Amino acid sequence: MFKSFSDSFLDLGDGVLGSIYPRHCPICDKLLPVVEIKNGKLRSGRLIHEACARKIRYVRGATCMKCGKLLASSESEQEYCGDCRRIRHVFDRGFSVFDYRSISGSIYKFKYMGRQEYASFYGKAVQRHLGKELLSLGIDAIIPVPMYRAKEIKRGYNQADVFANMVGRECGIPVYKNVIKRNKNTLPMKKLDARGRRNNLKKAFNIAQNDVKFKCILIIDDIYTTGSTIDEIAHEFRIAGVSRIYFLTLAIGQTT
Residue ranges binding Zn ion (CB under 5 A): 25, 27-28, 49, 52, 64, 66-67, 69, 81, 84
In the sheet that holds 93-99, the strands lie side by side as: 93-99, 244-252, 216-224, 141-144
User: 252 by DSSP, 3-state: which?
Assistant: strand
User: Beta strand 93-99 with 35-38: parallel, antiparallel or unpaired?
Assistant: unpaired
Do the Cβ atoms of 182 and 147 come closer than 8 Å?
yes
Least Å distance, CB 220 to Zn ion, is 18
Q: Which of 208, 181, 203, 220 is nearest to 95 (CA)?
A: 220
**Cβ distance to Zn ion smaller for residue 28 or 62:** 28
Least Å distance, CB 53 to Zn ion, is 8
**Cβ distance to Zn ion smaller for residue 69 or 197:** 69
Least Å distance, CB 67 to Zn ion, is 3
Question: What does the alpha-carbon distance between residue 16 and residue 128 come to, in Å, rounded to a whole number?
Answer: 23
Q: Could you say which DSSP state residue 249 is in?
A: E
**Cβ distance to Zn ion smaller for residue 64 or 141:** 64
**Cβ distance to Zn ion smaller for residue 64 or 245:** 64
Least Å distance, CB 209 to Zn ion, is 30
Distance, first Cα to last Cα, the chain: 55
Kindly calculate the radius of gyration of the chain based on its CA atoms and give it in whole angstroms.
Answer: 19
**Cβ distance to Zn ion smaller for residue 120 or 165:** 120
Least Å distance, CB 65 to Zn ion, is 8
